[in-house]
Amino acid sequence: MAMDDDNVRKWGCAILGGLVGAAIIQSHHDEKKKSQAEKDDPAGVEELCQIVGDLLNDWEPPFYDTEDEYTDDLFSYLDEELDPKYSAVKRTKTVRGIPDILINNQLVLELKVDPIKTERDRLIGQCCEYSRSFVTWAIVIDLDEDRVEKLRGLLEAKSLNYIEVIPYDCDEEEEEDEEEEED
């Protein structure tokens, strides 16, 4: 079958229409995945996430024994470093539960230290619930790279890849400190 100009235009429109349609559908799905905070104040949430992300890059927690100690340390650090226009609260009740840290009523930080499978599953459930109202980040401490990737893979498989996983390896830093002291 020979392709005349009319057929080329029809095929081109069909392909272009399909691509545009796919983009609209993806945009619609992405919009449905957004937290209420992102829908209400997209620019403000983006700015807050950038600021907190930068602060988390600089946070160097010492070695602690418990999740509560890490949460307290991170909360103190953020409380000192965040601009006063942002409010951070620790373990406050929300309609979605009690997150470890809630910043500006827009961003939740949920911490877990070397979570076993049941704690990991609980973390996913908590983050899933929080993410309906807030941007949600899972802070995992002392979780080896393979388990971090498995956690990310599980979130991806369940279409929860919008929940950010931020790992910290405090055991490694403690070992490095001990090695330096021995030298």
The helix or strand, by DSSP H or E, that contains position 19, with its residue range, turns out to be helix 5-33
Query: Which pairs count as long-range contacts for 120-129, CB under 8 Å and 24+ apart, including other chains?
Result: 120/151, 124/151, 124/154, 124/155, 124/158, 124/160, 124/163, 126/97, 126/99, 127/160, 127/163, 128/160, 128/163, 129/96, 129/97
pLDDT of residue 29: 38
pLDDT of residue 19: 43
SS3 assignment, position 104: coil
> Model confidence at 182, in pLDDT bands (50, 70, 90)?
low
| pLDDT, tens digit (0-9, with 9 covering 90-100), for 165-174 | 999 988 654 4
Residues 7 and 75 in one domain: no
Per-residue pLDDT at 31: 72
Query: How many structural domains is the chain composed of?
Result: 2
Average pLDDT, the chain: 83
User: b/e map of 94-111 (b: 16 or more CB within 10 Å)?
Assistant: eebeebbbbbbbbbbbbb
Same domain, yes or no: 54 and 119: yes
Examine the domain organization and report whether 102 and 40 are in the same domain.
yes
- pLDDT tens, 35-87? 999 999 999 999 999 999 999 999 999 999 999 999 999 999 999 999 999 99
Clarify whether residues 143 and 167 are in a common domain.
yes
Percent of the chain at pLDDT > 70 equals: 77
User: Is residue 66 domain-shared with residue 141, that is, in the same domain?
Assistant: yes
Q: Are residues 27 and 92 in the same domain?
A: no
One domain for residues 8 and 71:
no
DSSP 8-state class, residue 2: -
Instruction: Please say if the pLDDT value at position 129 is more than 50.
Output: yes
151 CB-contact burial (10 Å; exposed 0-12 / middle 13-18 / buried 19+): buried
* Mean pLDDT in residue range 4-32: 47
> Are 178 and 152 members of one domain?
yes
> Does residue 19 share a domain with residue 64?
no
> CA-to-CA distance for 12 and 5, rounded, in angstroms?
10
Structural domain boundaries enclosing 124: 36-182
